A and B are shown apart, each in its own frame.
Chain A
Amino acid sequence: MKPWRDPGLWLSLLVTAAIGLWPAVAANKPYAREMMFTVLMSVGLASSLNIMQGYTGYVNFGHIIFFGLGGYVGFYLLSVYHAPLYVAALAGALTAALVAFLLGKAILRLRGAYFALATIGINEAARSFVKNFDPFGGPTGMTLKFHVYQAYGGANQALWITYIALVVLTLLIILVSYLVKTSKFGLGLMAIRENEDAAEVMGIVAPDAKTWAYVLSAVFPGIIGVLFFFKNGNIEPGDAFRLQQSIEVIVMVMLGGQGLVFGPLVGAAVYQRLRGYLLVSPLFKNIQLAVAGLLLLIIILFVPAGLIGWLRGRFPRLRRWLV
C-alpha cells in the first residue's frame, strides 16, 4: 500500500499534530506549551526507541545517552561558538549517529539480556565521562548566556521556535517509524526480532541491519536533546544521562505497544499525562517512579502487547487504523 493511502499513518500523524497544536488553542499558552513539549519529547524518544526495541527486538536501557550526548555537543556549540540552533541540532544528530555506529559494532553482537546489561553500563560510562570532561563544564555542566536568545528575538520567541521545531521533528519521527516498519529494511528487522539465526539463514545481514537500526533510533534523541537543553538554558550530567528516564521511555513503548507506529505515540502521551497527574498529587508525588515500575509489571504480566496491541487483538477491524 502506498504510504499516503494508509489511514493508519494519517491517524498517527494527526494525533501528533493535534498534540502539537494544542498550545495554539489552549487558554494559558506558555503553560500548555511546556506541558506539550514534554509530551512531544516523550513521543519522539519512545517512537525512536521503538525502532530498536519494537522492530528489532533489542531492549535498550541506554536510549537516553544519545539524548545526553547530542544535547551536550549541541549545547557546547550554542554556548561557546554561538552556533545557530539548526547547526547545533545537526551536530547533535551526527554525534548520536556516530556514537551509535561505533557502539553498535561493539555491543550489538550481544543478544537479549546481555545487550540490555551492556546498555546500562554505557549509560553510566557516558555520565562519568562527561562529568570529568572539562570542556563540557565537568560536574556543574554549562549554562547559556541570556544574550544567545536575542538572536531568536528574545527568550519567549526562542521558546516558541524550539517548540515548533520539536513538533516538526516529532512528525518526522512518526513518518520515519512508519516508513521503516513498512519497508524491506523493516521486514528484515522484524525477522531478526523473531529469530535472528533463521533471519541470517534467509540472507538477512543481521549485523548491518541491527547497526543501521541502532543509528537511526539514536539520531532523533540526539536532536531532541539539543532542543530540550537549548530551551532549558543549562545542561548538567545528572540531567543528560538519567537512567530512570531510559526506563521511563521503555515503559512508554511497552504501555502503548511495541512494534507498532501508533503504540509508542499513545504510550508516551498517556504516560506523561499520568506522570503529570501523579507529580501534583500529594499522595503520589514522591513515589511516581514506583508507579511506573508497577505499571511496567502489570503490562508485562497482563497486556504484553500494550494498549494499542491489545485493541488490535480484541477488535481486528481497528487494525487498519492502528498500525
Chain B
Amino acid sequence: MTKPEGKPKVAFYWCASCGGCEEAVVDLAEGILDVVGAVDIVMWPVALDFKRADIEAMPDGSILASFINGAIRTTEQEEMASLLRRKSQLVIAFGACSQLGGIPGLANLYDREGVYRAAYLESPSTENPEGTLPRLRSRENGYDLSLPGFYDTVRALGQVIDVDYAIPGCAPHPKVIQAAVATLLSGELPPKGTVLAPDQAVCEECPRRESKPLDLSISEFKRPHEVIIDEETCLLAQGLLCLGPATRAGCDAACVCGNMPCSGCSGPTSRVLDHGAKAISGIASLIGGDDEEAIDSVLDGIPDPVGTFYRYGLPASLLRRKTLS
C-alpha cells in the first residue's frame, strides 16, 4: 500500500441507515480525539460540510479508508459507494446494514411498490390525500426536480462494490470500533474479507454463561414484554429467544446485560454462510416435544420467524429476499 503524504485521509458515509452508526462514532467519546488527531476526515455528511464534488476532484486511491454505513437501496447510494470505492484504498462496511443489509433489508420481504404503499399511502401516521409518490423527475413551480431511483431489493455494501473489511453490530460497539481502527492503523492488515470482531459467539462473553443448562429444552417461547425476566439466569433457559449462541461476539453481551435477549445484530461467525439458517438450526433443536403438534405449538410462540432470524441479514442470506411474483 502506498503511503500518501501528510495524515491519512478517511471518509465516513451513510446509505440506507438510521444514523445510529454515526452515533456510535460519536460514542467513542474522548477516544475519537485520537482518531481525529491521526487522520484527515475528507467526508462525513453528518458532521462536516464536504460535498460529492470534493471527493470527485480527488485522485483515485487517495483516501486511505472509507467507512460506509447503511444498506444500498437507491441509485444515489450505489453511485456514492462506487465513487468512494474508486477513491479509497480500503472500504470498510460499517455496521449491520452495510455488512449484511440490516433492518432496512427486511424490505426484501416486499418490493418497491409495497414499500411505497406502506410508507406514503397506508401508514396510519401518513396524511397524503393526493397520493403523492416519489418520482424520478417532476416539475414544481417551474423547477425541474429529480430524485434517485429506488431498487426493489436492498443490498449489502459487499453486493454492490468490493469491500475489504466489515465492522459488525447495530450499531457497532465502541470497543469493537476502537479495536478495528487500531488494527487498520497498525499497518498489519488482516486478510481481505475479515470481519473485525472476535470470531466467537456472544455466549462466550455472556455473564450468564454458567447458568446455561447442558440439556436445554424449551416448551414455550416467551416474549420480553410478557414476563418478568430473571437477571441472572440464561435467557434461553427462561424461554426467551436469545440469538447469542449463533451470533458474533464483541459487544460484551450488551443486550443480555440490559436484560434483553440478543437479537443477532453482529451477524454470524466466519464458519457460517447464512446467519438466520444457522440460528434456526440451533434454536429449533432446543424445542421440547417430539411430534409435529407439540413442536408446532412451541413454534407458534415465534410470530415472525423471518423478522426474528433474519432481522439484520436478509439481503446477505443465501436466498437474499422473498421471491418477486
| A associates with B | no
Interface residues of B (CB under 8 A from A): none
Interface residues of A (CB under 8 A from B): none
